[in-house]
Amino acid sequence: MTENEFIKYLDELGIDVDDDKLNKLEKYYEMLIEYNKVMNLTGITEKKQVYLKHFYDSLTIMKVIDLNTCDTLCDIGTGAGFPGMVIKIFYPHIKLTLVDSLNKRIKFLNDVIHNLGLKDIETIHSRIEDYAHNNKNKFDIVTARAVAPLNILLEYAIPITKINAYFIALKGKSEESNIYKNALKVLNSEIIEINHFKLPIEDSDRTIYKIVKKGKINNKYPRNPSEIKKNML
């Protein structure tokens, strides 16, 4: 995806692009490639592929929700900052929290934040299940990109999502509903939209799940990883 193609496809998503945002993305890309030489941030390094599979893909969240109406967003298992950091560049009003279990990724993200001059971002070095227990019902939107099967993601994300707010999972191919039906029931949540589409240019499958948290849930969630593995919802 060239820069011109990137601008064109973002326009189709209703996303405004200006020179400041493009300059920040370019710096982000350069830092991603430089840091990737010494740590495993991404297997995708070719510029056109980064713009397609990381930058554009992160912003496809706009297919299911208007980020202009969001005040607080938490990106769990953020890795190199996708989708959270890209969302912040385009929607700077959002108060962003990035959670990742590897401290070297957090150090990378902190350097990106400093070099791009971004504000109102908190980076958290923590396993999400630990972070969640002290941050219940906190965010307007919680996001996760790939990371884990949906039934596991739900248990991590729903506890920190506000009641009547949204967990949005960005996935590749869609998952069978019998995998996550029970998790939705236990976590008092409902899928209100499943958006299937093809990524432009290469036509790879993408699925976005928009899930609303309908009410209170048992305070024991999320459980620790060994319990989740032993008895998945």
| Number of C-beta neighbours around residue 40 at 10 A | 12
Q: Which domains does the chain have, with CATH numbers?
A: 3-230 (3.40.50.150)
Q: In what helix (H) or strand (E) does residue 48 lie, and over which residues does it extend?
A: helix 47-50
The position carrying tokens 């939705």 is: 184
pLDDT digits (tens, 9 = 90+) for 103-133: 999 999 999 999 999 999 999 999 999 999 9
Residues 6 or more apart whose Cβ sits within 8 Å of residue 1: 9, 48, 49, 51, 52, 56, 200, 201
Is 61 exposed, middle or buried (CB count within 10 Å of its CB: 0-12, 13-18, 19+)? Answer: buried
- pLDDT-based confidence at residue 185 (cuts at 50, 70, 90): very high
Give the pLDDT score at 147.
72
Residue type at 32 in one-letter notation: L
Q: Which is nearest to 14 in space by CA: 50, 75, 65?
A: 65
Cβ atoms of 101 and 130 closer than 8 Å: no
Average pLDDT, the chain: 96
Q: Which residues of 153-188 are buried (b: 16+ CB within 10 A; e: fewer)?
A: bbbbbbbbbeeebbbbbbbeeebeeeebeebbebbe
Residue 33 has a CB neighbour count (10 Å cut-off) of 15
The arithmetic mean of pLDDT across residues 149-159, rounded, is 95
Q: Report the residue count for the chain.
A: 233
User: What contacts 226, CB < 8 A, 6 or more positions away?
Assistant: none
Which pLDDT does position 148 carry in this prediction?
87
Q: Where are the beta strands (DSSP E) in the chain?
A: 72-76, 95-100, 121-125, 139-145, 161-171, 189-198, 205-213
Supply the pLDDT for residue 175.
Answer: 85
Write out pLDDT tens, residues 76-104.
999 999 999 999 999 999 999 999 999 99
pTM: 0.96
Rounded Cα distance, 74 and 97, in Å: 5
**Residue 1, pLDDT above cutoff 80:** yes
Give the model's confidence band at 176: pLDDT under 50 very low, under 70 low, under 90 confident, else very high: confident
Residues 150-164: what's their mean pLDDT?
96
Q: What is the pLDDT of residues 46-71, one digit of tens each?
A: 999 999 999 999 999 999 999 999 99
